[in-house]
């Protein structure tokens, strides 16, 4: 998926898009543990001015950008007296992503990360991809840009990073399939009837990982695994029918690659995002990470089960969208983001998330996607459609 890093022996210039989120903060933790190894070019955040300013000051960042344009003055005041350039608004975030950097962490959640990630790719950087929506919504466009610029994509999601570590890309003919593991989220053992009444607070309480609200809800519906399936298709050029999903509640085996001789190679580790981030940050070498060390003797038991397609219909929807074509994957993501927002705001029941997504997929016709503008147009249409079927209050919703 790329050539060897040319920064050996000198400080690596890095930018972190989405620096105040969980992945961004974990990245910064690793940067601080390796003083003298990295120079921070740009940091961006959505609305957390205080944390962004603290990060920029402590890391002497050349540039700091807040996506909410209305918070420009707050950020400017917070960084007064420093040499850090300050910007605000989506265009400023994209400009920050285009600043020369050896390595870029693309960790902006959702479709908002599309344009900044593409800007990073276009400059030919090594892009650590934590924004799965970039490939879900615009995989064909992103990979074309990678081929044109010579950029390197390094997957950061724990599952794709695990596959990357054991995937023999030079002998692809020997690979039979890949298997993404899933924790199953907090509602793995619940019936559909019990899930009907779960609250947003329960949905964001992931049993193993510390993630933001949106990603945690996606884990609870298993839509995150559906999105990861689509991402894996683009990252590893694997067809949908050669990508399996297996529920593994302990989150110790992060994913597996099966070979035609019967061998199955897996990457194991404790559930700590600093492990895959460290792999991407140090690549092609390895750097130390403070993750708790794996002790299989203490864990003793690892369990696996197939996901239940009836209780978790998001997996079926993702497979259908991938098979149907790029625009359908874009619609899937946009409708899901809109539905999750409605659920977190109390306007939808938990089971209604998948219903809204399926209804939107049925309501938006397929269309060609040849550019990022096409992606944005499909995304906007899907969001508008999904929003039109999300009620003003949950009392108007009936789940099938």
Last residue of a domain, one of 107, 127, 156: 156
Residues of the chain with pLDDT under 50: 3-4, 396-400
Under 8 Å CB-to-CB from 52, ≥6 apart: which residues?
A: 19, 20, 43, 44, 45, 64, 66, 75, 78
What is the number of alpha carbons within 13 Å of residue 151 lying toward its C-beta? 28
Asked if residue 184 and residue 120 are part of one domain, the reply reads no
DSSP states of 104-122:
EEE---SGGGHHHHHHHHH
- Predicted local confidence at residue 166, as pLDDT: 98
Asked if residue 129 and residue 181 are part of one domain, the reply reads no
For residue 345, is the peptide bond before it cis, meaning its omega torsion is within 30 degrees of 0? no
The residue assigned the tokens 């972190």 is 16
CATH of the domain at 29: 3.40.50.720
CB atoms < 10 A from the CB of 60, how many? 11
Asked if residue 60 and residue 130 are part of one domain, the reply reads yes
Task: Kindly calculate the radius of gyration of the chain based on its CA atoms and give it in whole angstroms.
Answer: 20
| 170 in a structural domain | no
CA distances from 278 to 105, 237, 273, 282, 312 (A): 11, 24, 8, 6, 32
- Predicted local confidence at residue 259, as pLDDT: 98
Last residue of a domain, one of 156, 187, 222: 156
Asked if residue 205 and residue 99 are part of one domain, the reply reads no
For residues 145 and 125, what is the distance between their CA atoms, to the nearest angstrom? Answer: 11
Q: Which two tokens stand for residue 314?
A: 């998001």
| 128 in a structural domain | yes
- Predicted local confidence at residue 209, as pLDDT: 56
Nearest-10 crossing angle of helices 314-324, 326-344: 150
DSSP states of 272-284:
-THHHHHHHHHTT
| 303 in a structural domain | no
| 196 in a structural domain | yes
Asked if residue 315 and residue 192 are part of one domain, the reply reads yes
Asked if residue 121 and residue 16 are part of one domain, the reply reads yes
Give the domain range for residue 142: 12-156
CA distances from 178 to 33, 312, 386 (A): 33, 21, 32
For residues 109 and 17, what is the distance between their CA atoms, to the nearest angstrom? Answer: 10
Residue 54 CB burial class (10 angstroms; 0-12, 13-18, ≥19): middle
Asked if residue 110 and residue 51 are part of one domain, the reply reads yes
| 278 in a structural domain | no
Helices (runs of H) and strands (runs of E) counted in the chain: 17, 11
CA distances from 181 to 185, 267, 277, 289 (A): 12, 11, 18, 22
For residues 66 and 87, what is the distance between their CA atoms, to the nearest angstrom? Answer: 6
Asked if residue 147 and residue 95 are part of one domain, the reply reads yes
| 97 in a structural domain | yes
| 66 in a structural domain | yes
* 188 contacts 247 by C-beta, under 8 angstroms: yes
- Predicted local confidence at residue 10, as pLDDT: 79
State whether the Cα torsion 57-63-68-69 is positive or negative.
Answer: positive
Under 8 Å CB-to-CB from 96, ≥6 apart: which residues?
A: 15, 17, 42, 43, 44, 63, 65, 87, 116
Q: How many domains does the chain have?
A: 2
Last residue of a domain, one of 100, 128, 156: 156
Asked if residue 247 and residue 349 are part of one domain, the reply reads yes
Asked if residue 51 and residue 117 are part of one domain, the reply reads yes
CATH of the domain at 234: 1.10.1740.10
Asked if residue 101 and residue 72 are part of one domain, the reply reads yes
Asked if residue 325 and residue 265 are part of one domain, the reply reads yes
Residue 90 CB burial class (10 angstroms; 0-12, 13-18, ≥19): middle
DSSP three-state, residue 354? helix
| 341 in a structural domain | yes
Listed residue (188, 275, 192) closest to 225, CA to CA? 188
Provide the strand spans (E) within the chain. Answer: 12-17, 38-45, 63-66, 85-88, 103-106, 126-129, 152-155, 175-182, 243-247, 253-259, 264-268
DSSP three-state, residue 152? strand
């Amino acid at each position: 998926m790329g050539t060897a890093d040319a920064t050996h022996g000198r400080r690596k210039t890095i930018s972190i898009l989405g620096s105040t989120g969980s992945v961004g903060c974990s990245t910064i933790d690793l940067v601080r543990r390796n003083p003298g190894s990295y120079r921070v070019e740009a940091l961006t955040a959505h609305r957390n001015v205080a944390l962004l300013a603290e990060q920029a000051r402590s890391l002497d960042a050349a540039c700091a950008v807040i996506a909410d344009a209305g918070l420009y003055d707050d950020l400017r005041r917070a960084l007064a007296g420093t040499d850090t350039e300050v910007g605000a608004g989506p265009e400023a975030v994209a400009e920050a992503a285009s600043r020369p950097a050896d390595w870029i962490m693309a960790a902006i959640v959702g479709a908002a990360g599309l344009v900044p990630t593409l800007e990073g790719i276009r400059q030919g950087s090594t892009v650590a991809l934590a924004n799965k929506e970039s490939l879900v919504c615009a995989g064909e466009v992103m990979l074309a840009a990678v081929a044109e610029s010579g950029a390197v994509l390094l997957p950061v999601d724990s599952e794709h990073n695990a596959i990357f570590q054991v995937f023999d890309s030079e002998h692809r003919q020997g690979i039979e399939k890949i298997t993404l593991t899933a924790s199953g989220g907090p509602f793995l053992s619940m019936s559909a009837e019990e899930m009907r009444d779960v609250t947003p607070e329960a949905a964001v309480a992931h049993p193993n990982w510390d993630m933001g609200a949106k990603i945690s809800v996606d884990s609870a519906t298993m839509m995150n695994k559906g999105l990861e399936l689509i991402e894996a298709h683009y990252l590893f050029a694997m067809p949908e029918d050669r990508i399996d999903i297996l529920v593994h509640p302990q989150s110790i085996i992060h994913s597996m690659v099966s070979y035609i001789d019967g061998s199955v190679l897996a990457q194991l580790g404790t559930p700590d995002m600093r492990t895959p981030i460290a792999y991407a940050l140090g690549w092609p070498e390895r750097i130390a990470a403070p993750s708790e060390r794996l002790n299989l003797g203490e864990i003793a038991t690892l369990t696996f089960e197939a996901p239940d397609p009836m209780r978790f219909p998001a997996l079926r929807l993702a497979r259908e969208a991938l098979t149907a074509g790029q625009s359908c994957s874009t619609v899937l993501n946009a409708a899901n983001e809109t539905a999750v927002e409605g659920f977190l705001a109390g306007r939808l029941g938990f089971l209604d998330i998948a219903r809204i997504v399926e209804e939107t997929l049925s309501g938006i016709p397929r269309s060609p996607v040849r550019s990022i503008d096409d992606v944005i147009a499909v995304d906007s249409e899907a969001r508008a459609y999904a929003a039109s079927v999300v009620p003003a209050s949950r009392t108007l919703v009936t789940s099938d």
